[in-house]
Amino acid sequence: MLPNLTRRALEPAGPSGSAQAPPAPLAAARPVPTPLSGGAPRPTGRLPRSVVLSAAAVDQAASPAAAEDGLGIVALDPNLQAHEEHLRYRWQQYRGTKDAILANERSLADFAKGYERYGVVKENGRTVYREWAPGAAEAQLIGDFNGWEGQPMERDDFGTWSISLPDGAIPHGSKIKIKMRHPGGWWVDRIPAWARWATVPAGKMGAKYDGIHWDPPASERHVWKHKRPGRPDSLRIYEAHVGMSSEEEKVASYTHFKDNVLPRIKKLGYNAIQLMAIQEHAYYGSFGYHVTNPFAVSSRSGTPEELKALIDEAHRLGIVVLLDVVHSHISSNADDGLAGFDLGQPEEANYFKQGEAGYHSQWDSRLLNYRNYETLRYLLSNLRWWIEEYRFDGFRFDGVTSMLYHHHGINIGFSGNYNEYFSPATNVDAVVYLMLANELVHELLPDAITIAEDVSGMPALCRPVPEGGVGFDYRLGMGLPDFWIELLKHVKDEDWSMSTLVGRLCNRRYTEKTIGYAESHDQALVGDQTVAFRLMGAEMYTGMSALQDPSPVIERGIALHKMIRAVTMAYLNFMGNEFGHPEWLDFPREGNGWSYQYCRRQWSLVDTDHLRYKFLNAWDAACLAMDDATGFIASPWQWATLIDDEKQVIVAERGPLVWVFNFSPFNTYEGLQVPVPEPGRYRVALDSDAWDFGGPGRVGHDVDHFTSPAATKEDPSAQYHSRGQFMFVLSPPRTVVAYRKVNEEEVVAKEETLSAYFLSQSK
């Protein structure tokens, strides 16, 4: 539960995802409170200093007043003073771009209604197809509705081609393309840039996609039944891929996910789903990140109406739905996607940058021209489309680091030096787009959630736009999965440093909310390993039966899997990792014989009662239920009160709970002295060692732990704790136990129960 946030406003915070040196070692035992997040200290106990730990917790720092020059963020981080010129220029570019939009459109929100004008739309009782394609010398509309015979389109002065047809001339479900003459003289067929759906002939590997005109009759349209749930106080994200959500070796449907996976997510206690691979992508193996048709729902899993039904059902269950949106690049597949609209025209008339600036060498994809007016219209309209048409509740923006810098982060080891963030290498045009995107999303939907996938740690990425920030609500703590990989691969358990662990978990920027996680889909891909597989390896295939004693490998793996997820909790989980899904993800491709064997989720493993996967699943659900009961994840009260490298123990306060982590592989501590925030009685609230979670049950749950006053600094006879009081607990190896303070009503109830019991025994 010690997420990766750091609260050192006067120091450069290290990047959230780069390979950086570990923090300087601390004393073997450091019993001073270290804040895990923002918030004013409680009056009890002595709090001599303040440094932070926590993940998605809400920072309580006051927001500086919006500044006309965009320098409000400097008040939060004086390190930005040296870069005021860059920040002022960035703000001027943002204001200039927005002013240009407002001069031509009524508002930013109206500018983002491009889908009402472009593509196939209805105007004045007629069907109009309109496309911005300034590179085309000629353009024709073709499809099965006109026998693929080209109907000429007219061009205006801005490079927009259009054709007006009688109402109903393009029936619902028609195949549609635009035929354009390249300036070189040849003709090319392209799917409309604003296509709402695109399909490929079933069973034809490598066949070209067709744009599909999606305009079903009222009787076939989804009718929304449920309101949006609103933003959760504690964000608990379930990262999911619909296509691989079935146990069968096939592409699963939106309907399958709605009927079979949503109930699992709800039962576990997640309140947000992050859906991957929704935007159409011709290559399934790209995991949805080589988007070809940004406005189209992936047809592999069903129709637009079926996706709407999925989201509507999630809303009924109280779950918000986030779209993993890809605006950082576009698939280079010109035949099937947006890249086909680059006909060699200059950048000012192009969705894409040109030359090296327009190509991502590692992703083999095209890079967008964020300075272009029509590119901005297209991307902002895309966000509004998913919010309005499908009722998504927010976005996880993919590949933000690639957008922020002209070098795209390739072969760059971000050290935290502010010169890395504000220099000629910074892509100010992309930053301005992200500012506009966040402003638009929150204007349309105040409860919307936006998350940035950034490994660089750019300052103010998650501060509001009026302050001069980029406007995201959260950033992903991408350095944590890499940290766990390195620790599990290269460091023996008995050598794990608690100081280093806490330092890494604390690594975030003051007042910027970070989502910490131990693993995501990235760590599950072929060539990598999940945390569970790193811990247990091949023994997962033979040693997970609960009908036999666990081997040392399985016992260690299950214990550490629970501890790693608990100490990193913020909270994000990839589908199946909650129960330690074995193996990797591998999409069907030529190299594996187009097999779906590893592109599915084996739910039967957790549903089989005699397998130990159920224990990991139960632990995940219990942690989320505890958050429901106490709100500890988003609580502003977050402190690490004891960091002991010698014992390998961490004590942390999150909300009303006191968490005791014993990472020692061998040592049981009887009478471990645990600092607590308030005097009174404490009882076990959650215990990873309990039988229900696959542990041997060594910790007593019916024991009241009474507090005692802590020693003073001047008293060498006992360990000094700055909290003012402590309690003694039993702490077995490789366990985490959360304690809660017992209120007086519970004390009286317990005493009455005991009195009644002894009275009955005396008769």
For 561-572, b where at least 16 C-beta lie within 10 A, e where not — what string?
bbbbbbbbbbbb
Q: DSSP letters of 225-248?
A: -S------SS--EEEEEGGG-SSS
DSSP code of residue 756: H
Strand order in the sheet with 669-676: 669-676, 725-731, 708-709
Q: Is 453 a catalytic residue?
A: yes
Please tell me which residue in 210, 453, 555, 644 is annotated as part of the active site.
453
In single-letter form, the type of residue at position 423 comes to: S
Please tell me which residue in 398, 420, 645, 687 is annotated as part of the active site.
398
d(CA 728, CA 749): 23
Helix runs in 295-427, H state only: 304-316, 373-390, 400-404
Contact of 167 with 122, CB cutoff 8 Å: yes
Q: How far is CA 385 from the centre of its chain?
A: 21
d(CA 569, CA 565): 6
What's 541-592 look like in SS3?
Answer: HCCCECCCCCCHHHHHHHHHHHHHHHHCCCCEEECCHHHCCCCCECCCCHHH
DSSP code of residue 4: S
Strand order in the sheet with 359-360: 330-331, 365-366, 359-360
In single-letter form, the type of residue at position 480 comes to: L
Backbone conformation region of residue 222, classed left if phi is above 0, alpha if psi is from -120 to 50, else beta? beta
Phi, psi of 81 (to 5 degrees): -60, -35
d(CA 721, CA 370): 54
> Of 3, 49, 1, 69, whose CA–CA distance to 508 is shortest?
3
Q: Is 494 a catalytic residue?
A: no
CB atoms within 10 A of CB 139: 24
Contact of 12 with 418, CB cutoff 8 Å: yes
Q: How far is CA 100 from CA 368, 438, 439, 470, in A?
A: 20, 18, 16, 19
Contact of 244 with 585, CB cutoff 8 Å: yes
Contact of 113 with 119, CB cutoff 8 Å: no
Contact of 273 with 319, CB cutoff 8 Å: yes
> Of 553, 609, 601, 597, whose CA–CA distance to 580 is shortest?
601
CB atoms within 10 A of CB 230: 12
| Residue that is written with structure tokens 């006051």 in the block | 62
Strand order in the sheet with 474-476: 514-515, 474-476, 449-452, 394-397, 320-325, 272-276, 237-241, 572-574
For 358-374, b where at least 16 C-beta lie within 10 A, e where not — what string?
bbbeebebbbbbbbbbb
d(CA 176, CA 195): 9
d(CA 118, CA 128): 9
CB atoms within 10 A of CB 594: 12
In single-letter form, the type of residue at position 702 comes to: D
CA end-to-end distance (rounded Å), the chain: 48
144 class by beta-carbon count within 10 Å (0-12 exposed, 13-18 middle, 19+ buried): middle
Supply the residues annotated as catalytic: 398, 453
